[in-house]
A and B are shown apart, each in its own frame.
Chain A
């Protein structure tokens, strides 16, 4: 019998929302109008495709509208879907407007931050020790969002060398702290990451998704390859965080 664990759709959604949202927020900090529009497009695509993935993941996708007619602010799932919905509207308005009202840009930026951050709160508010025992999951996801957001903008002609290095380092620091912090209560999850069934994702992230691109970035070599690897790393990171939390419980 299937246990209904949060699986690959959730992983993909976390990743897409992070990549697109991170790209949009970073692009806002630049002077380039073109880059800001690219960022808004990426965030919009992340939100729309992400929302579709979330709906497909439901046991009853045709009932997704039940979320929109309910009011359950204590439910992170409800609040997250509200942020996702509002962020989609704000980004859509940015895409169709020729000049961007200041207030709308602020609203879209804050909603985008909330969309990235709530995914961490969602995992923290569970009984899975690997997600809940440390407050760092939102920190990991946010750091990864900025690193992967910078990476994808590389393909649109921007070079965020410092962002890539700084947030790559921060992300690794948060992951390391998280593993140490949760180890006493989530030993099973962490041994799965280090030597068990999720070792491919964890070490894949550490080596291919983090160390190699970091060396390339520091050496200022092959920026496209480095960016591609950072994006891969962001995916592997979401993958192992989501699956490790459920090992011994639902998988």
Chain B
């Protein structure tokens, strides 16, 4: 679990207008080049990549009462407490830093891309030019100097807040109580349990699935344990069986 004094970002969908200032602020501060966009029949026109560490997702449709909804969600690294990228990394280049921030040491990364395959939030990406992976740093360079992350600084509506985990978690839970009282019965906080607790918390008006949020992601350690269990049984059973079958073969040429 994140510590109360850890750094955290709170994203409150109920204040978000989908203006993408966070997306632009991220690009500008981190000096990231533009990626081609595409029309997918929605405002959702970009993908997370080695050059796009934060993007807005847009979700529209009819809710159960038949009313139109159009929701926005900030997607980026969640800075997990049990981060799949860190656990998948074979060299320790991807690691937890002060205050629970997860960053990659691009001078130590070997470019194996195991973290890219492991992240449930699609937040780590490989860049062929640099031969290493890149991701959101929670603007570690700004935060270490007493500034807010660029996305938070750019947000004009207060949908993004930066602070200490303990305070922002309390604020998120308070906000959900107020939203429920206002008639948003499904309002919830996302990120409290996922991947050991994430350092980016979400106040959502509707069920997480509505926003394309990953539901109950399995931790990397659990996947690895399950993988080795299955592979161990397979290796023992099939190894013994192969020995048994091969033993009974009449190898032409016989004993030599």
Interface residues of A (CB under 8 A from B): 1-6, 22, 25-26, 28-35, 57-60, 63-64, 66-67, 70, 72, 74-78, 81, 109, 113-114, 116-118, 120-122, 124-128, 132, 135-136, 138-139, 142-143, 146, 150, 157-163, 166-167, 170, 249-250
Across the A-B interface, the 6 shortest Cβ-Cβ residue pairs: A59-B111, A4-B126, A59-B131, A78-B90, A121-B227, A135-B230
B51 to chain A, nearest CB (A): 7
Nearest CB in chain B: distance from A131 CB, A: 8
Task: Report yes or no: A72 in contact with B91, Cβ–Cβ below 8 A.
Answer: yes
Contact assessment for A29 and B247 in the assembled complex, using a CB-CB cutoff below 8 Å? yes
Q: How far is the CA of A102 from the CA of B234 in the complex (A)?
A: 24
Mark out the residues of chain B between 235 and 253 whose CB falls within 8 Å of any chain A CB in the assembled complex: 235, 238-239, 242-243, 245-253
Tell me if B16 is interfacial: C-beta within 8 Å of chain A: no
Known: A120-B227, A135-B229. 8 other contacts (CB 8 A): A32-B253, A58-B131, A59-B111, A63-B109, A77-B90, A125-B220, A160-B249, A163-B249
Assess whether B92 is interfacial by the CB under 8 Å rule: yes
Nearest B residue to A119 via CB reads: B231
Checking B51, B87, B132, B242 against A60 with a beta-carbon cut-off of 8 angstroms, the contacting residue is: B132
| A166-B242 Cα distance, complex, nearest whole Å | 9
Q: Count A-B contacts at CB 8 Å.
A: 199
What is the chain A residue whose CB lies nearest that of B220? A125
Closest residue on chain B to residue A6 by CB atoms: B113
Whole-angstrom CA separation of A157 from B249 in the bound complex: 13
Q: Find residues 55-105 in chain B having any chain A CB closer than 8 Å to their own CB.
A: 84, 87-93
- Give the distance to chain A from B125, nearest Cβ to Cβ, in Å: 7
Question: Which residue of A121, A138, A162 contacts B245 across the interface (Cβ within 8 Å)?
Answer: A162
Q: Of A32, A76, A249, which is within 8 A of B88 by CB?
A: A76
Question: Which chain B positions have C-beta within 8 A of A34?
Answer: 256
Taking Cβ atoms with an 8 Å cutoff, the residues of B that contact A are 35, 49-51, 84, 87-93, 108-114, 116-120, 122, 125-128, 130-133, 217, 220-221, 223-224, 226-232, 234-235, 238-239, 242-243, 245-256
Given A1-B51, A157-B253, also A77-B231 (CB < 8 A): no
Q: How far is the CA of A206 from the CA of B239 in the complex (A)?
A: 24
Known contacts A1-B128, A29-B246, A162-B249, A70 near B91 by CB under 8 Å: yes
The answer to whether B110 touches A64 (Cβ under 8 A) is yes
Q: Inside 8 A of A33's CB, which chain B residues have their CB?
A: 256
Q: Which residues of A contact B126 (CB under 8 A)?
A: 2-4, 59
- Indicate if the CB atoms of B246 and A160 lie closer than 8 Å: yes
Complex Cα spacing A74 to B219, Å: 11
**Is the CB–CB distance between B108 and A125 below 8 Å?**
no
Residues of B within 8 A of A2 (CB): 126, 128
Quick check: B118 and A125 within 8 Å, CB to CB?
yes
Q: State in angstroms the CA–CA spacing of A159 and B87 once bound together.
A: 44
